[in-house]
Amino acid sequence: MNYYFITGTSHGIGKSIATLLLADPHNFVTGFARNCSIEHERYTHIKIDLSDDEQVKEWAFPELKNATKIALINNAGTLGTIRYVGNLDAAEIVQTFQLNLVSPTLLTNSFLKKYISNTVTQIIINVSSGAGKNPIDGWSVYCATKAGVDLFTKTIAEELKILNRKNVFVFSVAPGVVDTQMQSQIRLANKDDFSRVKTFVDYKNLAYLEQPDNVASKYLSILAHPEKFKDVVFSVKDI
Ligand SMILES: NC(=O)c1ccc[n+]([C@@H]2O[C@H](COP(=O)([O-])OP(=O)(O)OC[C@H]3O[C@@H](n4cnc5c(N)ncnc54)[C@H](OP(=O)(O)O)[C@@H]3O)[C@@H](O)[C@H]2O)c1
């Protein structure tokens, strides 16, 4: 049996990954989000606010005696309010760091700790962003968190190599530009808060956005054969 723990399964890319995985009767999915929109006999929902580190620290990964594969997909994320630094809300800065960077770090730490003696294939995929590689005005906190996710993941990969833990694979994978609520929020931004808003409106109008199911299938290909992927940080566009 394969066990998948996926954050942000109520809509968008995370819901698509969960739904595609559930099509295989060998797969069990545990999803985390504030809302639940999946009903399935092999789906368990954890109603949680991942921007609250106390809630994340309280959650414990279960014993999995019959597992053949275990995976954690840190997908939940937010842009926060799109605004220039100096106009940001202090509490929201903290929440965005918590959701995008602290919660993946906490979950990855407890995942690796819980399953350290389990020799089955273990995969951690952090859903990153091109915004973690280049600055985008109005998105400073988001850019910083995604850059953090990339380097966090690269460091784990280094540690796993030193520890010779060949059954554990870690990746930080950007999904490209995907037609989800996050993109709807971007298109609503004020031009004074985000100089490139028109480009993103054009992406939608020119049907440039990828559909979540197509992107999710790329993540499934990594989960199916992690040994085929030699880079730690890459984009689904490279697959
Ligand atoms: N869409 C894109 O073009 C794009 C591009 C690059 C990177 N990404 C990355 O891809 C990932 C998924 O994005 P998406 O576009 O699918 O976003 P989305 O449609 O907005 O979905 C976000 C998911 O995260 C969950 N979430 C948000 N805040 C949460 C909180 N405080 N606690 C628990 N769960 C929370 C949401 O569930 P609830 O609201 O029910 O809690 C939802 O299931 C994100 O990490 C994003 O940064 C997306």
- Per-residue pLDDT of 112-137, as tens digits, reads 999 999 999 999 999 999 999 999 99
CA distance 17 to 70: 15
Nearest-CA residue for ligand 1 atom 5 is 177
Catalytic pick among 3, 4, 43, 142: 142
Cβ–Cβ under 8 Å, residues 217 and 48: no
**Architecture per CATH, 2-176+211-238:** 3-Layer(aba) Sandwich (3.40)
Closest ligand 1 atom to 35 CA: 40
Nearest-CA residue for ligand 1 atom 23 is 8
92 lines ligand 1 (CB under 6 A): no
Q: Which residues contact 82 (CB under 8 A, 6 or more apart)?
A: 138, 139, 185, 186, 189, 190, 193, 194
Cβ–Cβ under 8 Å, residues 191 and 158: no
* pLDDT at res. 176: 97
The ranges assigned to domains in the chain are 2-176+211-238
Q: How far is the CA of 65 from the centre of ligand 1 (A)?
A: 31
Backbone angles phi, psi at 227, to 5 degrees: -65, -20
pTM over 0.95: yes
75 lines ligand 1 (CB under 6 A): yes
Where is 13: in which H helix or E strand? helix 12-22
Q: Is there a catalytic annotation at residue 208?
A: no
Q: How far is the CA of 162 from the centre of ligand 1 (A)?
A: 33
Buried b (16+ CB within 10 A) or exposed e, 37-46: ebeeebbebe
77 lines ligand 1 (CB under 6 A): yes
Closest ligand 1 atom to 146 CA: 47
Which segments in the chain show pLDDT lower than 70? none
181 lines ligand 1 (CB under 6 A): yes
Q: How far is the CA of 168 from the centre of ligand 1 (A)?
A: 25
Q: What is the mean pLDDT of the chain?
A: 98
Q: How far is the CA of 14 from the centre of ligand 1 (A)?
A: 7
* pLDDT at res. 171: 98
Q: Which residues contact 117 (CB under 8 A, 6 or more apart)?
A: none
What pairs with residue 71 in β-bridges?
4, 123
